[in-house]
A and B are shown apart, each in its own frame.
Chain A
Amino acid sequence: MNHFQQFALDQVTQPVEQARGLPNEHYTDPALHEAEKQHVFFDNWMALCFGKDVPELGDAMPFEALGQPLFVLRGRDGVIRVFQNVCRHRGMILVDRKKRLSGVVRCPYHSWCYDHSGALHTTPHVGGPGYNTHDAIDRSSLGLIEIRSHVWQDIVFVNMSGNAPAFADYAASLIERWGEFEQPIWFGGEDSAFELDAATNWKLAVENYCESYHLPWVHPGLNSYSRLEDHYNIIEPGGYSGQGTLVYRSIISETGEKFDDFDGLGDKWVTGAEYAALYPNVLLGVHRDQKFAIILVPTGMEQTLERVAIYYASPKMQDASMAGMRRRNAELWKGVFEEDIFVVEGMQKGRHAMKFDGGRFSPVMDGPTHAFHHWVASQFKRAP
């Protein structure tokens, strides 16, 4: 890092009253994008996918994690594991599409086979035709490369470097904050998941999600019952940030039906809801009757796929009889998130303005966004 870059990051980590935002290069410079992969994503716990993506035993699905080929497998033992998606033989991609594995993972090239724990099970013809062993091939050292993973709230997190603290420590503060919600959740099914594609750097989606400042301007529909003054900032330095509302209202159908509530919630959650970004790339929302998660998939420096999934408090909410309510709820959230697209795409275009200096923060309203900038800058500053 050169002195200019160091100076710019030092400005980001100033108190919010004096701080500037991350410099343009963090949104437009391919070299910094490469560095960001390591320092921001691979050295931390990044959200990769949902457990619901591999719902049944033997389900395997490939993912590109910032260029890294991985696959997720729900093994026959029920454990979700993440592997580097390459054969230890010649580096061939193993899983090229979502599939249900009846047996081993077979490389389509020379058919080296791996069991669901990643162990190398057989190496056909490796010692010549019909000879499946060779002294030089030690199967015990040639299992699939497993990526450190952790599943929390049906989100599969990975720590590519293997050097981050245990996930339970990494996310301890948020897990504790939402401790009342540590109970089973039920995916609403196909009608409760959708994706949005935005021409923006992933960070801008986080920045926008964190603050309520934009609500009256970008989401005037929400403002009719959820005013700006009904919101509060959530700032946990080094871990997560976001906003809370005091006036969440459950959806009620024309016939008076509601989604079931989570068990045993305190009074805070009768009308309260909270929205937080767990750094780096997952946006979460908790409500008395539902949770959602948005995994931000950086598909390019200036392109982001938002994968949204909504979960409910009881298995009854998965019934066909609730489909109408679920669809209505998903459409509501999709409408809100779509309203944000022009903002995050507009800010991305703005990041090409050569004289933009990273911008300033409202000391009152932008604290959560500044906290995220501070965290990103800190990841670069701590890097060797």
Chain B
Amino acid sequence: MNARAIQQIDAELIAAHERGDGPTLAGLYEAAAGLRDEQGDVDAACFFLTQAYVFALEAGLDRSGALRDRLIANGREEKLTARIVGVRTAFLPAE
């Protein structure tokens, strides 16, 4: 494991969290996932991929699609379907 790289990412993550800098957080978490992937630690990698995915979604980054695909490939996320996109809720009577 590249301990120095992980320490560096941790420090940058804390700073980015403090700034509320979503795009940077997405990138850093994706980098952290990559380091875990290199170790063959799929669970840890998917944890960080999830973090990256959420911040990419919040920031509206195109990258979110690729992150989601990686999570799906690992059996950690659902495909986006019309079933989800088309959801409607309780207070809307038919008119």
- The reply to whether the CB of B61 lies closer than 8 angstroms to some CB of chain A is yes
A324 within 8 A of partner (CB): no
Q: Is the interface of A mostly helix, strand, loop or mixed?
A: loop
User: Which residues of B lie under 8 Å from residue A125 when comparing CB positions?
Assistant: 47, 50
Inside 8 A of B53's CB, which chain A residues have their CB?
122, 124
Quick check: is B43 within 8 A (CB to CB) of the other chain? yes
Interface residues on B, range: 35 or more
CB proximity of A275 to chain B, nearest CB, Å? 30
Q: Inside 8 A of B71's CB, which chain A residues have their CB?
A: 132
**Is B60 within 8 A of A120, CB to CB?**
no
A122 to B71, CA, bound (A): 11
Does A117 reach chain B (CB closer than 8 Å)?
yes
**Which of A102, A121, A132, A145 touches B91 (beta carbons < 8 Å)?**
A145
State whether A132 touches B50 (Cβ < 8 A): yes
Contact of B43 with A111 in the complex, beta carbons under 8 Å: no
Are A113 and B58 CB-contacts (below 8 A) given A145-B89, A163-B93? yes
Taking the complex as formed, is A148 at the interface, i.e. its CB lies under 8 A from any CB of chain B?
yes
- Contact assessment for A129 and B91 in the assembled complex, using a CB-CB cutoff below 8 Å: no
Chain A residues touching B, range: 35 or more
How distant is the Cα of A367 from the Cα of B54 in the complex, in angstroms?
A: 58
By a CB distance below 8 angstroms, the chain A residues around B87 are 117-120, 139-141, 143
- Please name 11 further chain A to chain B contacts, defined as beta carbons within 8 Å, in addition to the given A122-B54, A146-B91, sorted by A numbering: A106-B54, A106-B58, A117-B86, A124-B50, A125-B47, A132-B76, A140-B83, A145-B91, A147-B91, A161-B91, A166-B95
What are 14 A-B residue pairs whose CB atoms fall within 8 Å in the complex? A103-B64, A115-B85, A118-B89, A122-B53, A122-B54, A122-B68, A125-B47, A140-B87, A144-B89, A145-B90, A146-B88, A146-B89, A147-B91, A162-B90
Q: Contact residues of B with A, CB < 8 Å? A: 22, 43-47, 49-51, 53-54, 56-61, 64, 68, 71, 76-78, 80, 83-93, 95
